Each structure stands twice: as C-alpha cells, then as structure tokens.
Copies of this chain bind each other. A is one copy, B any other.
Amino acid sequence: MVPRMVLRSPVWLFRWQVACTRGASVPQRTWAGASRTPGPDSTLACTGGLSTSLGTPEVMLTCERYPVRRLPFSVVSEQDLAAFERIVPGRVVTDPAELEAANMDWLRTVRGCSQVLLRPRTAEEVSHILRYCHGRNLAVNPQGGNTGMVGGSVPVFDEIILSTALMNQVIGFHSVSGILVCQAGCILEELSRYVEERDFIMPLDLGAKGSCHIGGNVATNAGGLRFLRYGSLRGTVLGLEVVLADGTVLDCLTSLRKDNTGYDLKQLFIGSEGTLGVITAVSILCPPRPRAVNVAFLGGSGVRLWSGLTGLLLAPSCVCLRPCALAGCPGFPEVLQTFSTCKGMLGEILSAYEFMDAECMQLVGHHLRLTSPVQESPFYVLIETSGSGVAHDAEKLSSFLERVLGCGLVTDGTVATDHSKVKMLWALRERISEALSRDGYVYKYDISLPVERLYDLVTELRTRLGPQAKHVVGYGHLGDGNLHLNVTAEAFSSSLLGALEPYVYEWTAEQRGSISAEHGLGFKKRGVLGYSKPPEALHLMQQLKALLDPKGILNPYKTLPARS
C-alpha cells in the first residue's frame, strides 16, 4: 500500500537556488522578479548529483544509479523562466526545498534534478506551457500526487515538472447520473468526500487516496480496492480533456455513458503515464453509495462472530455497510474453489476477494503483533461484500460460509460487520507490506497471472531460492488475478537478484501473464515490457508515441523501452 503523503506547499516562492555537488554549471542564484531578463547564456542544466542541506538522507540520483543517457533536449534558460512567468505568473517554482520533494519518489528510490516546477491552473495554461516547451525542445515531466511505485512521476534528469496540484476544481456533478467532472489535480480522497455527501462513491479507492490526483490515477490506469466490483477506469472514465505535446487541447470531456462516434481517443491517454499527453480534466461515473435499506431486518445492528458456525453474538455497535469475512483454506485449490463458490453465491455484492499465505500471517504476527482470529491454515482469504441491504448481505454471506465450511473448502472463519472488527481484519491483509519491510531487504513483484496458476510461482521460487531467501510470500487481489510476490533477505544481494530476474519475468511471460498488473512501467520497469507484449505491439506503441509526441518531450525515459 502507498502511504499517505501530502505534498502540498502553501507558499509559492518566486526564487530559485541551485546547488550541485559536482559539475555544477549553474551558480547559486536568487531571482528577484520577473522584470529581470536573464542573459542568453545562462542555463539551468543539472549535469550532476544534486545534494541538499535540508537534512534528509541522501538519495542517489537516477542518472547516477541507472545506465540512462540524457536525450538531446534543450536546457531551461532564464529566458525560459521568464516566459513561464508570463504564462503562470507567481507559479514558477525554483526553490530547491520544494523541488527536492517533487524530484524524488516517495519510495526514495529515484531522484531527478529538475530545477523548475510549474503550477498551471487551467488547461489553457498547460497548453501555453506545452506549446512553448515543444517549440523550445524542452522535456516535461507531468506530476500529480507523486505516489507512483515505478518512478514514473519524477524527472530522470532535468525535465520541467508540470504539477497538476492547482488544477483542483470540481467542474460539475450530475446528481441523477452520478457523473463527476473535475480538474485533473483533484485529490481522490477529497473527491470521495464530495460525492459521498451526495450519496455516491468514487469507483476507485487506493491506499494513496489522501494525496494521489485523479488525473494521475487515470494516467496510470490505477486499479485499487474497488476494481473487482466496479471494474477498470477504462469503463468508468467517460471523458477526458488532454493537452497534447504541441499544446493542442483535445476536448473529449463528455459526460455520456454511451458514445460511439469515431475512435475513443481518451483510451489512448488512460494508462499512458503522461507520455502521450497531459490529462487536465476527467469525467467519471460514480456508483451509488451502498445503503442499508433493510437494516431493521437484523433486529438491531450488530457484530457477528463466526467460528465453525457455532458462535453468534449480536452487539449494538455501528453497522458497517461492507461486512467482510476471513477464512482459512487448507490449500490453494480450495482458495480457488472458494472463489468460484463465492462469485456464484455472493454475485453482485462481492467487492473484494483477497488471499494471503501462512508466511504472510506469520510475518504480520511476528513483526506487528497482529493476531489471527482464525485457526492456523496454509492460506487465508478475506472476503468483503458491499451492497444495498445489510440484512440481505449478511444472510448471503452466512449461506455462503455454511456451504464452504460444509464441504471442507474452508476450515475456519470469522465474519465482521462492525467498523472496528472490519478494520482489524483488513489490517491483517493491508499491513503485510509493512511487516515485510521490517523483515529485511524486500524484492517486490506485482504480477497478473491466470488465476489457476497464481500461486505456482511462489512455490517454485521457494524451491529455486532455498536458504538464499529469508521468506518467499504470496498475497494479493485473487479476484483480479493479481499476485504480490515478495522475497525477503537479510540484505540486498546481487546473486539473489540474479536468481530472481529474469526468472520471474520469464516465468510470467510463459503463462502469458503481466509483469506489471497495476503499478505500470514508469522508469523502473520500462525495460521489461517485452516480457508481456510481443514485438509487434512494442513497435505500434513506439509509432503512437512518435505520432502524438514527435519530439518525445512528454515524460521521456518512461513507459517505453529505450530505443537501441
């Protein structure tokens, strides 16, 4: 899960200070105002490592850590800064402290050395900026909440950071259809609150919701916790406004559920990680908020603890609209059969089906002192429902659990309907990542596989790695065929990495799986795209990039492999 990380700075300083540790071609400066016209020879190129005196531990520059070469883009000059100041007056950020956060990903694994960040408020301003950059051959790194996992949202070198943070206005909401239209920089959690007040919910929910931007969610085709129930953004996003590399504004911001007039251009930009255009506004379909129309049916709100179907407690606590259950399964085939049964019996109210193996449960127990409310099992599944009738949902869940317990698919389980219990069950699943990070160095993979083979890779890796690895664990969104495969060791070792890669990618490719289920490719995984897509597809992707961004100025070094 992505931690909350709010990167909003309330004051936009109109000055820039640059300090480079080596090869510093730029002296430390302070720019007093827009009236000063910098000389033509003054540039802001960052040619080496950028150090900081802000007290944060040093993170190696991406260009030093990875074998990547700067493409022949222009370097930002003082004239450029003056031009930007005319386009977005008072919103040209060059303060190193502010740039530090925007240059680095939240995982602290990649770091660029951009020396300017722009904060447009409108698509028109974005259009002016891109038209200017296109003319000047300046590279641009679009940035939303900077919560990505693959280094896609920060510069690799000195790309201009184009932040959507000030494009944070709701444009409209249709209370009958549930269609929300808003600017790209709106924070997901704020949108959630906005639509929930109007009896709707956002069709996506992420751990990073407190800081991620809806534009970034769309640009990365974010999956998240509601994917199983409400599907992909490719279905729920109804329209987009996008600014192309040359500044053209593409207005496809319709609010229609159905529109078969020509090619669906917005799909090009969903999941393209800012490499084909900058999303400036989004139209999205929100489902109605799950409601408890028949709450009285229960005979009072309550908690139902379920263990071997014998214990039934009713307590007057707060009813949760999303009851969930945790159950133990004797093997992975039973996890799959339980899923099939679950889909059939819970049908439309099923909103999550997550699994974790015994080692995950041991790790959260050992490192976080969380205890499992169900008996020890080789596998655990967490099932969440979300419907319009609490009593109906609870009844369906009970019938389902009776069935799976009766036929031995599940050996033990517990149902939670009140908020605190639900939260407790979810913590067992959501805090696995935290437990892993306390276990040592973690090698992380986010893979999609045919659901039947989802766990085979974990088993095979355990045999392959032997005592080299401390733990090899598998968990994830089984309902979506999404495996989070993690390997821990005392410390980083290149021999262990060599045993993992390309083996993991090759194994995934053999199953026609995806080497990036939901995180995207960004900077870190662009080199392994070929494991999931054939050469013909890569070629067409390169052609699309060349068509939409002929100079390659939009989010360079991302998504597509470097051309040899």
* Contact indicator B291/A451 (Cβ below 8 Å): no
Interface digits, A498-535 against B, CB 8 Å rule (1 contact, 0 not)?
Answer: 00000000000000111111111100010001001110
Given contacts A344-B388, A345-B293, A396-B389, are A221 and B260 in contact (CB under 8 A)? Answer: yes
Which B residues are in CB contact (< 8 Å) with A199? 344
Residue of B nearest to A345 (CB): B293
* Contact indicator A261/B515 (Cβ below 8 Å): yes
The smallest C-beta distance from A12 to any residue of chain B, in angstroms, reads 31
Which B residues are in CB contact (< 8 Å) with A559? 262-263
Taken together as a complex, chains A and B put the C-alpha atoms of A114 and B449 apart, in Å, by 44
Taken together as a complex, chains A and B put the C-alpha atoms of A257 and B232 apart, in Å, by 9
* Contact indicator A258/B223 (Cβ below 8 Å): yes
Among the interface residues A223, A392, A518, which one has the most CB atoms of the partner chain B within 10 A?
A: A392
* Contact indicator B271/A560 (Cβ below 8 Å): no
Taken together as a complex, chains A and B put the C-alpha atoms of A56 and B554 apart, in Å, by 58
Cβ-based interface call for A107 (8 A): no
Cβ-based interface call for A129 (8 A): no
Cβ-based interface call for A395 (8 A): yes
Interface digits, A349-388 against B, CB 8 Å rule (1 contact, 0 not)?
Answer: 1000000000000000000000000000000000000111
Cβ-based interface call for A132 (8 A): no
* Contact indicator A482/B451 (Cβ below 8 Å): no
| B-contacting residues, A471-512, CB 8 Å | 477, 480-482, 512
The smallest C-beta distance from A531 to any residue of chain B, in angstroms, reads 8
Given contacts A344-B288, A547-B543, are A260 and B176 in contact (CB under 8 A)? Answer: no
Given contacts A221-B260, A293-B399, A348-B388, are A251 and B534 in contact (CB under 8 A)? Answer: yes
| B-contacting residues, A318-351, CB 8 Å | 336, 339-340, 343-349
* Contact indicator B536/A339 (Cβ below 8 Å): no
Cβ-based interface call for A250 (8 A): yes
Which B residues are in CB contact (< 8 Å) with A232? 234-235
Which B residues are in CB contact (< 8 Å) with A178? 343
Taken together as a complex, chains A and B put the C-alpha atoms of A250 and B289 apart, in Å, by 40
Given contacts A176-B336, A540-B265, are A258 and B344 in contact (CB under 8 A)? Answer: no
* Contact indicator A174/B267 (Cβ below 8 Å): no
* Contact indicator B514/A259 (Cβ below 8 Å): yes
Cβ-based interface call for A314 (8 A): no
* Contact indicator B517/A256 (Cβ below 8 Å): yes
Instruction: Give the size of the chain A interface in residues (CB under 8 angstroms).
Output: 97
* Contact indicator A513/B256 (Cβ below 8 Å): yes
Which B residues are in CB contact (< 8 Å) with A537? 250-252, 262, 265
Residue of B nearest to A528 (CB): B261
Taken together as a complex, chains A and B put the C-alpha atoms of A178 and B399 apart, in Å, by 22
* Contact indicator A396/B293 (Cβ below 8 Å): yes
Cβ-based interface call for A249 (8 A): yes
Cβ-based interface call for A452 (8 A): yes
Taken together as a complex, chains A and B put the C-alpha atoms of A221 and B259 apart, in Å, by 9
Among the interface residues A234, A290, A515, which one has the most CB atoms of the partner chain B within 10 A?
A: A234
* Contact indicator B336/A257 (Cβ below 8 Å): no
Given contacts A235-B232, A290-B347, are A482 and B257 in contact (CB under 8 A)? Answer: yes
Interface digits, A106-136 against B, CB 8 Å rule (1 contact, 0 not)?
Answer: 0000000000000000000000000000000
Among the interface residues A386, A448, A518, which one has the most CB atoms of the partner chain B within 10 A?
A: A448
Cβ-based interface call for A90 (8 A): no
Interface digits, A256-293 against B, CB 8 Å rule (1 contact, 0 not)?
Answer: 11111111110110111000100000000000111101
* Contact indicator A529/B262 (Cβ below 8 Å): yes
Given contacts A235-B235, A288-B343, A348-B349, are A261 and B450 in contact (CB under 8 A)? Answer: no
* Contact indicator B387/A348 (Cβ below 8 Å): yes
List the interface of chain A (C-beta within 8 A of B): 174-178, 199, 220-221, 223, 227, 231-232, 234-236, 248-252, 254-265, 267-268, 270-272, 276, 288-291, 293-294, 336, 339-340, 343-349, 386-389, 392, 395-396, 399, 448-452, 477, 480-482, 512-521, 525, 529, 532-534, 536-538, 540-541, 543-544, 547-548, 559-560
Given contacts A199-B344, A268-B268, list 16 more A-B pairs with CB under 8 A.
Answer: A174-B450, A220-B260, A223-B260, A232-B235, A250-B536, A251-B534, A255-B450, A257-B482, A258-B481, A258-B518, A260-B516, A262-B559, A265-B537, A294-B395, A294-B399, A348-B386
**16 interchain pairs, CB-CB under 8 A:** A176-B339, A178-B343, A199-B344, A235-B235, A256-B448, A260-B521, A261-B529, A263-B276, A264-B267, A264-B270, A265-B541, A290-B348, A293-B396, A293-B399, A347-B388, A348-B349
